[in-house]
């Protein structure tokens, strides 16, 4: 039986070939000398099925600003906006209080939507005060007595817009309050069901 001759093991690098540089750890070998395994194998194309290109992620949806104001912050916001609108209406249209009343409604809606849940009941109180504050630039200057009579007359003639904006704010606050109570009851029922299980 013929035996193959085995060559003796050579120690050290061969002289006719330059030594190979060691592989970095991320190129296939672990730092301890073992072979590093990739966390996720590369996907192999399935024969007969076209390769699917990766679709770019859809752009983030643009949401309307949704700040949460405290009671004081809501009062400052509503009062500042109504005072600014009063000056703008007086500058552009003169003492036309109907335009001011129309602009009062969206401010009531924003105030009722942006007040945080802990201070919801302050919104229907804030908006009438802001309405009266914004009437200051629209009142004719006639001394202290004339200014007071102008304020009373303005509040009386624009009572429809005042009550309408207050009712809109109250309805939004009531809807948000009911939704908050429903969420709290649902969470409490889920917690009780987990405890029973």
| Assigned domain for 66 exists | no
> What average pLDDT does this structure show over 112-136?
90
Q: How far is CA 92 from the centre of its chain?
A: 34
- Decide which of 59 and 183 is more confident: 183
Residue 158 placed within a domain: yes
Q: What is the pLDDT of residue 61?
A: 41
Give the bridge partners for 35, in sequence order. Answer: 29
| pLDDT score recorded for residue 152 | 85
Q: Which residue has the tokens 């809109």?
A: 168
Q: Does 59 reside within a domain?
A: no
Expressed as residue numbers, the domain containing 183 is: 71-196
Digit-coded pLDDT (tens) for 39-59: 455 555 555 555 555 555 444
* Residue 8: inside a domain: no
Q: How many domains does the chain have?
A: 1
* pTM summary value: 0.61
Q: Is residue 150 pLDDT above 50, yes or no?
A: yes
Is 53 inside any structural domain? no
Other CB atoms within 10 A of residue 21 CB: 6
């Amino acid at each position: 039986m013929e035996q193959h001759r085995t060559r003796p093991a050579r120690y050290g690098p061969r002289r006719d070939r330059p030594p190979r540089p060691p592989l970095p750890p991320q190129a296939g070998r672990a730092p301890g000398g073992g072979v590093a395994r990739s966390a996720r194998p590369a996907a192999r194309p399935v024969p007969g099925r076209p390769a699917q290109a990766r679709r770019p992620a859809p752009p983030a949806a643009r949401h309307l600003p949704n700040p949460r104001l405290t009671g004081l912050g809501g009062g400052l916001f509503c009062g500042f906006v109504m005072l600014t609108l009063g000056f703008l209406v007086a500058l552009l249209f003169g003492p036309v209080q109907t335009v001011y009343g129309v602009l009062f409604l969206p401010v009531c809606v924003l105030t009722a939507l942006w007040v945080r849940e802990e201070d919801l009941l302050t919104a229907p109180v804030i908006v009438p005060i802001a309405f009266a504050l914004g009437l200051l630039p629209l009142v004719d200057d006639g001394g202290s007595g004339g200014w007071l009579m102008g304020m009373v007359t303005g509040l009386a003639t624009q009572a429809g817009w005042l009550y309408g904006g207050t009712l809109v704010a109250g309805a939004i606050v009531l809807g948000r309050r009911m939704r908050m109570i429903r969420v709290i009851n649902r969470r409490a029922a889920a917690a009780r069901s987990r405890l029973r299980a």
